Amino acid sequence: MRWVFLTLLLLNFLVFAAQWLQGGHFQPQPVSALSAAAQGKALVLLSEVAGGDAGFLEQPSASTSYEDLGALCLMVGPAPGQVQAQDLVQVLRHQGVAARVVTQEVVKAPDYWVYIPPLADRDAAIQMLRELQKTRKIDSYLISQGPLANGISLGLFKNREAAVALQEQRAAEGLDAQLIEVERTGIQFWVVIPSEVWLSNEQKLTKLLSEREFSAERRQIYCKSVASTKKVP
């Protein structure tokens, strides 16, 4: 009977050992979610970009520096104003895009000025102005500075036909009415980004421009030329 007891004890030990080895004692270590995320691209919450509806932008493998002599950038715009341009730049910088605002002076359509040439001195100009305003009831203003100082302004127009009509009317009334074009300039605000960023995200960037009422115009320039200009904060 003793050998039967030993045999049963040995069998129990073998069964326990088999169950122990097959019971998952050596569990594989779970992969850390944080480590996995660190090995890939940085995630950007949609709520952080353009109100949460723009999605994150794909970044090219090599980033462009504004100091690279041969690198190309795109000027996109113009923006409706400086505020809209800076808003877009902040959205792009949230995505890691090296965007900046630059300004460009543009020539606008001229104004058309109807006037009476400068008189001999200020007293003569004031006397003429009183006659026009009080006696003849003509809208007019004294020109106090510039090459036409001591002249009389009769009207400033954006439409040439309207200016010509007034000039002819005042001339018919016996006034020495003259007409000149006045050049006007303005400032446009553009956003500059690396060309490869645009190529990788054209649809998303076009949507951002549309949402901010940007013009769809694009101009390719050398990034280096932007680096030498004074950027808007």
Tell me the pLDDT tens digit for each residue of 21-77: 455 443 433 333 323 333 333 323 333 334 444 445 665 544 555 555 457 888 888
In the sheet that 100-116 helps form, which strands lie side by side, from edge to edge? 141-142, 152-157, 100-116, 178-194, 72-77, 217-222
Residue entry with tokens 């074009």: 181
Sorting pLDDT into bands at 50, 70 and 90, what band is 7?
low
Whether the link from the prior residue into 78 is cis, omega within 30° of 0, is yes
Min mean pLDDT across 14-28, 39-53, 100-114, 203-217 is at 39-53
Mean pLDDT over 172-196 rounds to 92
Min mean pLDDT across 7-21, 85-99, 197-211 is at 7-21
Sorting pLDDT into bands at 50, 70 and 90, what band is 209?
confident
- The per-residue pLDDT for 36 is 32
- The per-residue pLDDT for 143 is 96
- The per-residue pLDDT for 96 is 83
For the cut 50, the answer to whether the pLDDT of residue 182 exceeds it is: yes
For the cut 80, the answer to whether the pLDDT of residue 177 exceeds it is: yes
Answer yes or no: are the C-beta atoms of 210 and 93 closer than 8 Å: no
Q: Which domains does the chain have, with CATH numbers?
A: 46-107+186-227 (3.30.70), 108-184 (3.30.70.1070)
Mean pLDDT over 138-151 rounds to 94
Nearest to 171 by CA among 154, 158, 159, 157: 154
Mean pLDDT over 98-121 rounds to 92
- The per-residue pLDDT for 49 is 39
- The per-residue pLDDT for 124 is 95
Sorting pLDDT into bands at 50, 70 and 90, what band is 133?
very high
Q: Pick the residue with more confidence: 233 or 82? A: 82
Mean pLDDT over 161-170 rounds to 96
Q: Pick the residue with more confidence: 132 or 32? A: 132
